[in-house]
Amino acid sequence: MAQIWDPSTKFKKWLDVELAACRVHYEQGSIPEADYHTILEKADFDVARIDVIEQEVQHDVIAFLTSVAEFIGPSSRFVHLGLTSSDVVDTAFSLLIRDAGSILIEDIDLLMAAVKTQAFTHKYTSKMGRTHGVHAEPTTFGLKLTVWYEELRRNRQRLSDALAQINVGKISGAVGNYAHMAPEVEEKVCHYLNLEVAPISTQILQRDRHAHFMSTLAIVAGTLEKMATEIRALQKTEFNEVIEPFGKGQKGSSAMPHKRNPIICERVSGLSRSLRGYALTAFENQNLWHERDISHSSAERLIFPDATVTLDYMFGLMTNVIENMTVNAEQMQENIGKSYNVFYSQQLLLKLIDKGLLREDAYRIVQRNAISAFEERISFDQKIKADPELTAQMTDIEIDAIFDASKYTQYVDYIYKRVYG
């Protein structure tokens, strides 16, 4: 990923655009055959030389073209024929983003595979589901992972869509009016570069495309942060259900040798905030003066390399966490027991309604017993069987039937089939 954003790669993409334009001009008879072959044979650049020239001319494309001309010689007069700088820069930028995006797609695939593997390993690993941070009803760790898997799949589609939106080029001139070359040149250049043609452009490609891509990266990072935050929460000492990888020689605290801190997931959470900031900058870049100004350029040189490199790094971190995390299934089961079975409250509520009680009355009875069981630290079924108002409605056998844990996993196979096929 870092190599994609290296200056040498950027200038190589610029040269690809220039050579594609030369090819079209040659095919249309605008460049003599001898000059065209000289261009193909000698076209090159020197990054250090470009830097030196740019210090003087204060224009990166002119510095690049000057360096290329020094390699080609007199035939270089046909390079950049009828083009404006943004024809080259924006079209090449799309190529760079496409390459970066392809790596991110591979990253998503690797993480999805890791999540899926763990989801099937823990398909029936029971754990307490929590809402508002409070015990709700049991679920399985596999279902939690499957939620992540499906969200990652949506993110993969989002990223593919965003890449399709930005997989465009423009060779339309200084204000997008094709004053110095026909639209057919643009169409052929883009074809040779495997890009779509922007149906209309100004001097630049419109930045809604880039904002879409960057906002997608922020959404993807948000998913990784969501996963990381959950693992951090489950690693709390009071939970001890999932623990991120901890190396043999790793240390958690300079003062407290016992600490095993979830620093990888915390790193992912922090970096996700940066991605959201980059998305905001991309939104700001949509608004430019007239046919373009250059206010977006300096920001894009920072946010696109940094955002894609950062997200690539985050994917590596989370894939490692998912593949190598410790899942304490026994602790999950023990934590379920800390609710004293009060999570069966909804099953009891529905049974009482089925018996003919008004919902409000049934709710009052169940809530009273559930709160009492939790406060007294005795099993919910014991409280129920000691409540005359309940035993008047149900036998002990009917009460025992309510405490059926299989209800919480009865559709796991169905959900897995719906998600994984």
Beta strands in 306-387 (DSSP E): 326-327
* Residue 258 annotated as catalytic: no
* Residue 372 annotated as catalytic: no
Which three-class secondary structure state does DSSP give residue 326? strand
Tell me the C-alpha distance between 267 and 260, whole Å: 15
User: 397 — phi, psi (to 5°)?
Assistant: -65, -40
Tell me the C-alpha distance between 147 and 131, whole Å: 15
User: 410 — phi, psi (to 5°)?
Assistant: -65, -25
Cα angle 5, 194, 170; round to 5: 75
H or E, element range at 8: helix 7-27
The β-bridge partners of 197 are 169
Kindly give, in sequence order, each residue whose CB lies less than 8 Å from that of residue 248, ignoring residues fewer than 6 positions away: none
Beta strands in 186-249 (DSSP E): 196-197, 242-243
The runs of H, that is alpha helices, within 235-294 are: 263-284
Q: In the chain, how long is the greatest CA-to-CA distance?
A: 103
The runs of H, that is alpha helices, within 58-140 are: 60-72, 85-121
Given the residues 132, 254, 290, 406, select the one marked as catalytic.
132
The answer to whether residues 292 and 86 touch, using CB atoms and an 8 Å cutoff, is: yes
Given the residues 76, 253, 258, 269, select the one marked as catalytic.
253
Kindly give, in sequence order, each residue whose CB lies less than 8 Å from that of residue 18, ignoring residues fewer than 6 positions away: 43, 68, 79, 80, 83, 88
Pairs from 400-409 (Cβ < 8 Å, separation ≥ 24): 402/344, 402/347, 402/348, 402/351, 403/341, 403/344, 403/347, 404/347, 405/126, 405/138, 407/347, 408/126, 408/137, 408/138, 408/139, 409/124, 409/126, 409/138, 409/140
Q: Which two tokens stand for residue 169?
A: 């080029």
Tell me the C-alpha distance between 298 and 277, whole Å: 15
Catalytic residue IDs: 132, 253
